[in-house]
Amino acid sequence: MDVRQQIDSDLTASLKKRDEVKVLTLRGVKTAFSNVEIANNRTPLTEEQIIKILKSEVKKRRDAAALYEQGGSQERADKEKKEIEIISAYLPAELSDEEIQKAVTAMITEMGASTPADMGKVIGAVMARLKGDADGSRVSALVKAALHV
């Protein structure tokens, strides 16, 4: 069963269970899918596009949760975090920090990078090599640490 079918199935189950947070979250995700399809002349989404949209939805919620925490609204931040958990269940597992570190070290060696000025190039190359299997902020932090920025 592909991701989209799984989301449809889980939405139906959540409606029956009356799990309001999951229902609203999955409906929001389905709306995001529809919006992209409409923008692309109703072309059906590929699995890669679906994963990209899901990652985008998680990022939006992470940003919102951080802003809510800064603003002192812990209740709303917790709701956003719950939505992140729900959406993340449909994403493939990300690489561990050790695996990312190996890729960062290999890329720094390949590129001969040694200064903070090389950071952007290294991050871009590592992200291209990992093909979205790692969060950009984690890659960035590991590159900064490796280059002693």
Least trusted range by pLDDT, from 28-32, 62-66, 93-97: 93-97
Distance CA 92, CA 2 (A): 12
Question: Three-state DSSP class for 115?
Answer: coil
Measured over the CA atoms of residue 105, residue 107, residue 109 and residue 111, the dihedral's sign is negative
Residue 1 has pLDDT above 80, yes or no: no
Q: Does CATH place domain 3-88 in 1.10.1510.10?
A: yes
Region 116-135: mean pLDDT is: 82
Is pLDDT at 13 greater than 90 in this prediction? yes
Kindly tell me if the per-residue pLDDT of 149 is higher than 70: no
Residue 143: per-residue pLDDT: 85
Task: Please report the DSSP string for 43-108 in residue order.
Answer: PPPPHHHHHHHHHHHHHHHHHHHHHHHHTT-HHHHHHHHHHHHHHHTTSPPPPPHHHHHHHHHHHH
List the chain domain ranges.
3-88, 97-147
Percent helix, strand, coil in the chain (nearest 5)?
80, 0, 20
Tell which CATH architecture fits domain 97-147.
Orthogonal Bundle (1.10)
CA distance 1 to 59: 25
| pLDDT 10s digits, 40-94 | 898 888 888 998 899 999 999 999 999 999 999 999 999 999 999 999 999 888 7
- pLDDT at residue 10 in the model: 95
pLDDT at 11 over 80: yes
Give yes or no on whether 3-88 and 97-147 have one common fold. Answer: no
Tokens of 120: 């952007």
**pLDDT of res. 145:** 84
Q: How many residues does the chain have?
A: 149
- At 12, the pLDDT band (50, 70, 90 cuts) reads very high
What integer best gives the mean pLDDT of the chain?
89
